[in-house]
Amino acid sequence: MINQIQHSELDDCLSVIQKSFKGIANEFNLTKENCPAHTSFITMQNLQYHWDNGYLMYGCYLDEKIIGYVSLEDKGNSEFELRNLAVLPEYRHKGYGKEILDFCKDEMKKLGGSKITIGIIEENTVLKDWYAMNSFIHIGTKRFDHLPFTVGYMECDVY
């Protein structure tokens, strides 16, 4: 079951995000020193900023426990950016990620959106392939001096 989160659940969401992205940080040798802005090092201050700035924040619940998280940022012009899609490692490969993604597509359509975008670690081919299997197309890459990886951009038109 996926529901909009309540402010009182931000601590639980923070834990889900950090635990979910820790493996990626380890796989790509990301540390607080070489990549402090990586999602695995997200802080409550970051989440509070998202909350205060109107990001739509959702939790995936199993037996009243949050096992997944995602947020949508309205970028205007019928476009939404998918942020921090996370599923706890012990619940992966059971369809929850796809359920969250499909929910976001439906929710975005209800809000008048027609395009959903995402930025990922370009070198994470497993994740890139997963998004491609879920109707996203690769639209480009960009290098940033402050990041030890290439950012890959993908989008999905939703009608």
In the prediction, which pLDDT does 8 show?
Answer: 96
Of the candidate CATH numbers 3.40.190.10, 3.40.50.300, 3.40.630.30, 3.90.550.10, the domain formed by 2-118 belongs to 3.40.630.30
Tell me the mean pLDDT in the region 61-68.
95
DSSP state of 31: -
In the prediction, which pLDDT does 37 show?
Answer: 87
Tell me the mean pLDDT in the region 77-100.
95
What are the boundaries of each domain within the chain? Answer: 2-118
Contacts of range 120-123, beta carbons closer than 8 Å, 24 or more positions apart:
120/151, 120/152, 120/154, 121/24, 121/28, 121/149, 121/150, 121/151, 121/152, 122/149, 122/150, 122/151, 122/152, 123/28, 123/149, 123/150
Tell me the mean pLDDT in the region 76-90.
95
Name the pLDDT band for 146 (thresholds 50, 70, 90).
confident
Per-residue model confidence as pLDDT tens digits over 96-142: 999 999 999 999 999 999 999 999 999 999 999 999 999 999 999 99
- Output the six-digit token pair for 31: 């540390």
Whole-number Å distance between alpha carbons of 21 and 101: 17
Q: Are the C-beta atoms of 79 and 117 separated by less than 8 Å?
A: yes
Question: How many Cα neighbours within 13 Å face the side chain of 29?
Answer: 2
pTM of the model: 0.92
| High-pLDDT (> 90) share of the chain, % | 96
- Strand pairing of 137-143 and 65-76? unpaired
Give the closest residue to 24 by CA, choosing from 120, 141, 140, 133: 120
What's the mean pLDDT when you consider all of the chain?
Answer: 95
As a whole number of angstroms, the longest Cα–Cα distance in the chain is 43
Tell me the mean pLDDT in the region 49-59.
96
In the prediction, which pLDDT does 159 show?
Answer: 78
Per-residue model confidence as pLDDT tens digits over 3-13: 999 999 999 99
